[in-house]
Structure 1
């Protein structure tokens, strides 16, 4: 792909069956390089890509790895189709307090309610769903087996790589921010990429927000789109616990200076 043909960073990939699929190529890193195009893709349910045109687009990425960040319940309802040449791996990126998968499928709703009730009991008072999820998001970058798998695949250079969840916005969005930060992209650009979900899902979001109160809109926006405070809270929690993002990547993923530079040398140009 020539420089003139390259889309702006964060440009949505045109698909007939889904929105909010894109890649991480083009974002500038602090050292003057940019993230390479054609290596790191993000999206939602792959079973939505049914049309011949969508299949051709998917195959044109020449994926070597697909990392599914959903629960087993979500996968059961919308299984990823096999893609020749791509190694498939599923590791849920949101966890209950006991470490089991947080299942956002219709069969997992009752368990989610129980988890929320246990959180409120520990807090000693009722907690708004928005505030509960804000806490969960701040915990996601730490001890997360899905993100450990993600960075293992990155270090193994199992790219082109597609990582996805159901809508490609939360679990996927935080994963994308972590990748960008590891590659030396600024917090501002990493968060801007996260927030693009609200651009690409605007029609879906507005449909669900019609006629809702401001309080209802705040919660529904985080359900159908993404909330900036939640996304920022997730990556800013890193700097509450560590002196720098580099210190976090060294402690959390074993990416010392040498390994981090090797990662950047492969994914930046």
Structure 2
């Protein structure tokens, strides 16, 4: 068991991109599926916002031939933090996942209700069932299923919640085991700790919002199963994912 954990940790560490102006950059390439295939490197890159990238970062991403950037943030978030993209980028897709819900979520955060964990659990279940979110994730997979868009960077503000759900859905579509999916999701805590340390030090309860918890992801996928019977049904019927095509494009 220890050997398996160490091997998984090494795989995760090898996928981290040496980006200076971002906190949560990592490649899905190198993850092994239950079919004993491997996700191709440099095709799917998850991250936090791109506004702080420097010339070295942009050069690295250009070397990876990044062609598309998918931004899950709302228009308000994009106004305050503008993406920087490499010269190879041909497409920028704006998918305002949970736009209305995000506003309501922010208002609730500023209210007297400080049950942040409950807020996050509701946010995660909304991410996989709310009509706007489902529509935008459907569009996301449509983008991914066009190989001409690869390599793809996809992100939100922190690269942990909206991006975390998107990553888990991608990995499910490629038949990756749950332990690996969850391990990748929780890795955000390691890379975001410095970004949010000052906020959490001032108010430790904010860790419920600024960091991720396994049960957030588990709750979302349990809701998928309750609502749509299975994750595979959700992917193929609700999000219109061609699972065979996803495997063809992204695994080897």
Query: Which category of TM-score, normalised to the shorter sequence, fits these structures?
Result: 0.7 to 0.9
* Equivalent position SS for 1:254: coil
Equivalent in the alignment of 2:224: 238
Please report how far the alpha carbon of residue 268 of structure 1 lies from its aligned counterpart in structure 2 after TM superposition.
Answer: 0.8
Pair 1:129 & 2:116 matched? yes
Pair 1:265 & 2:228 matched? no
Pair 1:156 & 2:174 matched? no
Cα distance in structure 2, aligned partners of 1:48 and 1:247: 38
* Equivalent position SS for 1:66: strand
Pair 1:222 & 2:208 matched? yes
Please say which structure displays the higher CA radius of gyration.
1
Give the conservation status (yes or no) of the 8 Å contact 1:67–1:89.
yes
Name whichever of 163-172 and 75-84 sits farther off.
75-84
Cα distance in structure 1, aligned partners of 2:227 and 2:137: 18
Give the conservation status (yes or no) of the 8 Å contact 1:24–1:35.
yes
* Equivalent position SS for 1:38: coil
Equivalent in the alignment of 1:203: 194
Cα distance in structure 1, aligned partners of 2:215 and 2:72: 22
Number of corresponding residues: 237
Give the conservation status (yes or no) of the 8 Å contact 1:116–1:132.
no
TM-score for both structures, normalised by structure 2: 0.84
Give the conservation status (yes or no) of the 8 Å contact 1:45–1:165.
yes
Give the conservation status (yes or no) of the 8 Å contact 1:198–1:205.
no
TM-score for both structures, normalised by structure 1: 0.79
Cα distance in structure 1, aligned partners of 2:123 and 2:206: 17
Pair 1:44 & 2:65 matched? no
Equivalent in the alignment of 1:74: 77
Please report how far the alpha carbon of residue 226 of structure 1 lies from its aligned counterpart in structure 2 after TM superposition.
Answer: 1.3
- Which stretches in structure 1 are left out of the alignment for 5+ residues? 1-6, 104-108, 121-125
Cα distance in structure 1, aligned partners of 2:158 and 2:28: 17
- Over aligned residue pairs, what C-alpha RMSD do you find? 2.5
Cα distance in structure 1, aligned partners of 2:223 and 2:116: 19
- Which stretches in structure 2 are left out of the alignment for 5+ residues? 1-9
